[in-house]
Chains A and B, each alone.
Chain A
Amino acid sequence: MSTTLPLFRRAFFDSWRSTLAWAAGLAGATFLYLPLYPSIGGSAQMQDMIDALPPEMVRALNYDQIATGPGYTQATLFGLIGFLLMTIASVGWGAAAVGGDEESGQLELTLAHGVTRVQVVLERALSLVLRVVLLAALVFVLVRALNESARLEIMPENLFGAAVLFAGLALLTGTAALCGGAVSGRRTYGLAAGAAVGVVGYVFNAVGRQSPDVEWLLNLSPYHWAYGNVPVANGADWAAAGWIWGISAVLVAVAAFAVSRRDVGT
């Protein structure tokens, strides 16, 4: 029996429960935050409250444009809770894809069959991409659906660009985890690599926005590459999107190269 992309199918369909759970989490977060905009983000009192906060804190949380629908969506959903959920999901999947599978001893049996190592990495990376894209697409659809009722006034093309960056950012952490796992053969190192990319990106953004002296940190922050110009309000920086997706592709290639050159399961 020959089916196309057998490893992709297994990686994708065997994890449907987890995909569904993260989708439910993201949907929950979206429904929790966005309908509150008219009463919180858009109100004059909220703006007064934001003004009363230390400006450093406002910048760190990306709350500077929270009084507009797109700014609110950017800061709360794409920039915070959604970013967090997507990163955790993607890093978990990425670390499990090769490193976790090897550590649990199952990769050995897969590789003893009629597959190449490059094929294993690529098909599993494809499964990671598809799951991340599905989650981002879900967020896109839900925000579109709530746009009217929550009076967000987000332009569809800007939302689309933000969703591409949202997926790209998650993918970058996920592929870093996949790469870390593939190079080391250990799930933990994969998790560490993915989490490092996510956390460092977020922290460098928060710190880098504080003063011109540390602005250079922004250049090292994938989070800032993606969200620096507030894409939900202003549209995506497509060059940044290209970089983020491109680096993810490179990380997958490095993973494939590393696995194909070393001993497995030792």
Chain B
Amino acid sequence: MPQAISTRSLTKKFGRREVLHGVDFSVETGSVFGVIGPNGAGKTTTMRCLLDIIRPTSGEVRVLGEDPRLGGPELRRRIGYLPGELFLEGRVTGRKLLSHYEAISGPVPPGRIDALAERLGLDLDRHTRKLSKGNKQKLGLVQAFMHEPELLVLDEPTSGLDPLIQQEFHAMVREARLKGQTIFLSSHVLSEVQQTADTVAILRDGRIIAVESVSGLREGAVRHLRFTADGITAHDAGALLGTVPGVGNVTVLESNGTVTLSATLEGAIQPLVRTLGTLRLKDLVLEEPDLEESVLQMYSGPADPPRREAAT
């Protein structure tokens, strides 16, 4: 399948301040691609470059096979965009505003707007400036999804939405993906992206520092381990654990007859289980991998050289 989005050495300077220092990534058609990073990392700037709202200083961008600079209205009709900060003023109802956006975007199937609004619990007959932040965000989502675009570019799509509506949004993303639409979304928290995305890119200080599949991230992530055993000294248990690849931070929590140790595990589980199998375990807790933590490690690590792994 061709790529829905690709960028090569994308840089952007605002005056003398460079905010993107050579961003490279590609999004496969029909996949969900999440980009996460702290505020100011360049997520919004990257997205704006895809829509020709701002122009890159250098580098190459391809969106749906075209250069956004040259693609013009025809290209943008094939994209649904939700800006990171959505401002909807004016004394118009949501319905009127949407029919305006309908007039300047791709064709909207009949009944689609009402169906989406109902799904998200949005009242289309209220004036937009009286809407709460969450309801404005819903209006923005309807606007992005309504013409069933080939590509959705969503900047922090769930900000302001309550958890139930967030679930509904995740369902919308999964459905769009099943229909073959490509989704490019951003967030500053991983937990949000990991629910829907196939691939996650981590952007920090204007650079992509990692591109990983969510399953890959899960494998590379750190798990917390705690167990209690008897018939072994704390020292021996610690030494035994130390032989398992990927185990670190071994700490003895308790040592009076039974021993309780905690450790972290990075990588495969099988060797650990085999080793633990030789002990007389009383209790064992192996936590879900904390992706957030592994991402935070990437944030705090050195930005160079960029670590890249094949996204599957």
* A interface residues with partner B (beta carbon < 8 Å): 1-3, 6-7, 10, 14, 17, 104-106, 108-116, 263-266
Question: Is B86 in contact with A109, judged by CB distance below 8 angstroms?
Answer: yes
| Distance to closest chain A CB from B178 (angstroms) | 25
The residues of B that contact A108 with a CB separation of less than 8 Å are 48, 53, 83
Mask: chain B, 24-37; 1 = CB below 8 Å from A; 0 = not: 00000000000000
The residues of B that contact A105 with a CB separation of less than 8 Å are 83, 85-87
- Measured between alpha carbons, how far is A226 from B71 in the docked complex, in Å? 44
The residues of A that contact B89 with a CB separation of less than 8 Å are 104, 106
Question: Is B73 in contact with A10, judged by CB distance below 8 angstroms?
Answer: no
Q: Does B131 contact A (CB under 8 A)?
A: no
Closest 7 CB pairs of A and B: A105-B87, A263-B54, A6-B103, A114-B77, A114-B73, A112-B81, A113-B104
Question: Is B83 in contact with A2, judged by CB distance below 8 angstroms?
Answer: no
Q: Does B51 contact A (CB under 8 A)?
A: yes
The residues of A that contact B90 with a CB separation of less than 8 Å are 14
| Chain A facing B: main interface SS | loop
Mind listing 9 A-B residue pairs with CB under 8 Å? A1-B108, A7-B104, A14-B92, A104-B89, A105-B87, A112-B53, A114-B104, A115-B73, A266-B14
When A6-B100, A265-B48 are in contact, do A114 and B54 touch as well, CB less than 8 Å?
no
| Distance to closest chain B CB from A19 (angstroms) | 13
Q: Does B79 contact A (CB under 8 A)?
A: yes
The residues of A that contact B104 with a CB separation of less than 8 Å are 6-7, 110, 113-115
* Interface residue ranges of B56-87 to A (CB < 8 Å): 72-74, 76-77, 79, 81, 83, 85-87
- Measured between alpha carbons, how far is A206 from B130 in the docked complex, in Å? 46
Q: Does B161 contact A (CB under 8 A)?
A: no
- Measured between alpha carbons, how far is A209 from B91 in the docked complex, in Å? 45
Question: Is A113 in contact with B53, judged by CB distance below 8 angstroms?
Answer: no
When A7-B104, A114-B105, A116-B73 are in contact, do A264 and B54 touch as well, CB less than 8 Å?
yes
- Candidates B54, B79, B91, B102; contact of A1 at CB < 8 Å: B102
- Candidates A6, A14, A111, A114; contact of B53 at CB < 8 Å: A111
| Distance to closest chain A CB from B44 (angstroms) | 10
- Measured between alpha carbons, how far is A10 from B100 in the docked complex, in Å? 7
Q: Does B55 contact A (CB under 8 A)?
A: yes
Question: Is B87 in contact with A2, judged by CB distance below 8 angstroms?
Answer: no
The residues of A that contact B140 with a CB separation of less than 8 Å are 109
Question: Is B73 in contact with A266, judged by CB distance below 8 angstroms?
Answer: no
Query: Contacts A1-B107, A116-B73, A264-B53 given; 13 further ones with Cβ under 8 A?
Result: A1-B103, A2-B103, A17-B91, A104-B87, A109-B86, A109-B140, A112-B79, A113-B105, A115-B76, A115-B104, A263-B14, A263-B54, A265-B53
